[in-house]
Structure 1
């Protein structure tokens, strides 16, 4: 009896020890230290690979920001049973995300016109960065929150939150300037916000922001070609054209740009690649702006502090490379510029293309057929792959010819092959693995969000209003049963990326 009692006591002690170890030290499915990569603190959720999803719901329910465990591909938190992680102090209908993982924060635009700051360390909203009247068509918030730029196409307003004097520092009082710029629909800025560009709908014109320097000898007056300046009585900033008015040659218009749609800054920060949308954006041969391509422009004369000599208009030095496949989005690895867009086909529909331009030659080396639709998302990921997302793909060339017309393309850089994912056969037996709420077996819908979960061989997407994840090795879809969200998924961001540039 004594030996049995001793055995029982030993067993009880062992169990107690295990319990103490598990409860005292805490259940740790992830290996974490007090400060993670680059000194980042362990967040309240204790998750180390997080994807934040921007969600909108019916107006009566509101939306929010949900954090998914991208390592395990689950929405529940393994540390707390039957729980999910939501960004606290935020309950708006979230539309899109600007992701700054290096600064451990992001900026989320919601349907109420507000841009809110999200603290990744505390997983909480930390106030409104800016608010607008009217839906934004484009916005930019700098990494240091030193510059907040918004474009409201419906009212023709470009709004800039910036220092109130030319000699101001980041600690100076910030002032909101509203510039009337009819048809403005896009604002583009480089990371240091030393170049701020404005693009207009159905126009070949590009404008830039110019900061007047009141301390310069003789002072600076607004250039004669300024579109508008603010404040009116004592200007600090002006909106000036990048290109001169369209010229003509033998009676044929010769615009500097051809329906510019966007701009991408070179990895070394020395050039701006203007993406000329051409025919895809309504350009015609009659006006000479139906040609799509890339305009390579040196950055120096576009800087916010570049005042043209004697206030005269200066046309930038431009190298134009025609891209027949279309140009609405681009990304570069420093050696090659990858450009996506659409070209008009003989049947009157548009077809999607990926064009490769080696920067050493500035000539197209290859073109690949990809998803149709308006291309807006491009990023590199594991396994030497490039991922391209577009919207409204069901009305293009592929759908008309009963081909896979989904909106996500995986390009294998090593093997130089492009494939649309998921891989389906419209009307056939090969269907989408995880249909969205509409139960469409062959089409997910527009791709509005895309992020790379580094080193885990996967990308996450907001695809047709729901979260879908894909394996970068072969493009196969990861089971999304446990990462679906309640409401409409509009955007995704990898909160724990190593740099701002990779996502």
Structure 2
């Protein structure tokens, strides 16, 4: 759990008991926030916004093993399979001979960096085996595919794949042969939102046909079902809320690339960037900059909970952006960081559980290490 202000650092919580087990917090810069786990969960990268640094934390020793400076802020990081290399998208990174933007390759043992120029690089997604990185740039219709094995060689590790519509995220199939690209469309200044396949068995990778969806900025693949959330421009809410703008959740069967929900699933609006499947088939969807309501008759923030069994939606009466979201395995709880506070939801009730954890300072992100 990353927190800033009162006690900057990483709080260690026993997620089986919902109790803080480490005081003081693990140091990770003056303003720790965004966190990323290595695939083997042995390492956590923590970005500190105060000085644009990335700290590498050993999860076994609960201590920092070093840090690397970035040329600007990042909203997206990944770690190699063996935990020796980190990657960070830095949209403002100065690069000679091109407009700003790069993927910074971080040597987590030596502290050095290599810069791969990708103009306006905003988000990146690593395949499960980390053999491919997908990079998404602001105001672009291109997906940049990076082959880490070619970094530092005479072969350009970048392949620029055109044919998309303001792509912002990607979800890999379990075998890493296909990526489902989320085209943001009008929400990001493009033409049409969609889900589009990217065939990674081809060299170069090939963009497939696009399946239109109302909006698409974040997704989660569970089995053969892809859940996609976004905010279509001008989407009205139903009569259950005073909010005047709402988002939409779509359900895609990836085997046939078809929508399976017959009518729109209305959720909160905002820019959706967090999604996780809790126990009992409860899908948690988090956004930022949503239309919040705080009146005597209604409280509403940026979190939606979708019941995958009966297709109902609950918007908990909690204000704030959702900046962190982590289902806890083998328990009926999901940890959510909303409005700067850690909130523990019970998936059997879609309400806050009876036992909550008070984190000193402003909570930013949360990750599960060893469940």
TM-score normalised by the shorter chain: which range applies?
0.7 to 0.9
Deviation string 1:456-503 (CA, Å, 9 cap, x unpaired) is 21011111001111001110112465x111111000112222xxxxxx
Q: CA deviation at 1:337?
A: 0.9
Change in CA separation of 1:181 and 1:335 when aligned onto 2, cut-off 3 Å: closer
Q: CA deviation at 1:189?
A: 2.0
2:145 to 208, 216, 237: 208
| d(CA) in 2 for partners of 1:491, 1:380 | 17
Q: CA deviation at 1:162?
A: 7.6
Equivalent residue of 1:194, what SS?
A: coil
Runs of 5+ in structure 2 lacking a partner? 94-99, 238-243
| d(CA) in 2 for partners of 1:212, 1:148 | 14
Q: Which has the higher strand share?
A: 2
Match in the other structure for 1:344: 233
Q: CA deviation at 1:319?
A: 2.3
Q: Note if 1:408 corresponds to 2:270.
A: no
Change in CA separation of 1:120 and 1:149 when aligned onto 2, cut-off 3 Å: closer
Q: Note if 1:486 corresponds to 2:360.
A: yes
Q: CA deviation at 1:412?
A: 1.4
Deviation string 1:235-262 (CA, Å, 9 cap, x unpaired) is 343433112xxxxxxxxxxxx2111011
Change in CA separation of 1:107 and 1:406 when aligned onto 2, cut-off 3 Å: same
| d(CA) in 2 for partners of 1:92, 1:174 | 19
- The answer to whether the 8 Å contact 2:90/2:104 transfers is no
Structure whose alpha-carbon radius of gyration is higher: 1
1:376 to 248, 251, 273: 273
Q: Note if 1:123 corresponds to 2:62.
A: yes
| d(CA) in 1 for partners of 2:34, 2:304 | 21
Q: CA deviation at 1:175?
A: 7.0
Match in the other structure for 1:240: 159
Q: CA deviation at 1:350?
A: 4.8
| d(CA) in 1 for partners of 2:90, 2:331 | 38
Q: CA deviation at 1:268?
A: 2.8
| d(CA) in 1 for partners of 2:298, 2:180 | 32
- The answer to whether the 8 Å contact 2:196/2:211 transfers is yes
| d(CA) in 2 for partners of 1:260, 1:91 | 32
Deviation string 1:262-285 (CA, Å, 9 cap, x unpaired) is 1111123221000000011112xx
- The answer to whether the 8 Å contact 1:264/1:273 transfers is yes
1:64 to 9, 21, 25: 9
Equivalent residue of 2:92, what SS?
A: helix
Match in the other structure for 1:427: none
| d(CA) in 2 for partners of 1:56, 1:98 | 17
Q: CA deviation at 1:141?
A: 1.7
Runs of 5+ in structure 1 lacking a partner? 1-52, 78-83, 164-170, 214-229, 244-255, 284-289, 309-314, 423-442, 498-503
Q: Which has the higher helix share?
A: 1
Change in CA separation of 1:350 and 1:267 when aligned onto 2, cut-off 3 Å: farther
Q: CA deviation at 1:88?
A: 3.8
Q: CA deviation at 1:114?
A: 1.9
- The answer to whether the 8 Å contact 1:259/1:278 transfers is yes
1:446 to 314, 321, 324: 321
Match in the other structure for 2:186: 279
- Count of aligned positions: 355
Q: Note if 1:152 corresponds to 2:90.
A: yes
Q: Note if 1:269 corresponds to 2:176.
A: yes
Note the aligned Cα RMSD (angstroms).
3.0
Q: CA deviation at 1:101?
A: 7.5
Q: CA deviation at 1:413?
A: 1.5
| d(CA) in 1 for partners of 2:38, 2:121 | 26
Match in the other structure for 1:365: 260
The structure 1 segments of at least 4 consecutive aligned residues displaced by more than 4 Å after TM superposition are: 210-213, 346-350
Q: CA deviation at 1:331?
A: 0.8
- The answer to whether the 8 Å contact 1:105/1:120 transfers is yes
| d(CA) in 2 for partners of 1:347, 1:456 | 35
- The answer to whether the 8 Å contact 2:102/2:120 transfers is no
Q: Note if 1:420 corresponds to 2:321.
A: no
Change in CA separation of 1:143 and 1:106 when aligned onto 2, cut-off 3 Å: farther
Match in the other structure for 1:470: 345
| d(CA) in 2 for partners of 1:365, 1:212 | 38
Q: Which one is further off, 100-109 or 341-350?
A: 341-350
Q: TM-score of the superposition, structure 1-length normalised?
A: 0.64
Change in CA separation of 1:154 and 1:142 when aligned onto 2, cut-off 3 Å: same
Q: TM-score of the superposition, structure 2-length normalised?
A: 0.85
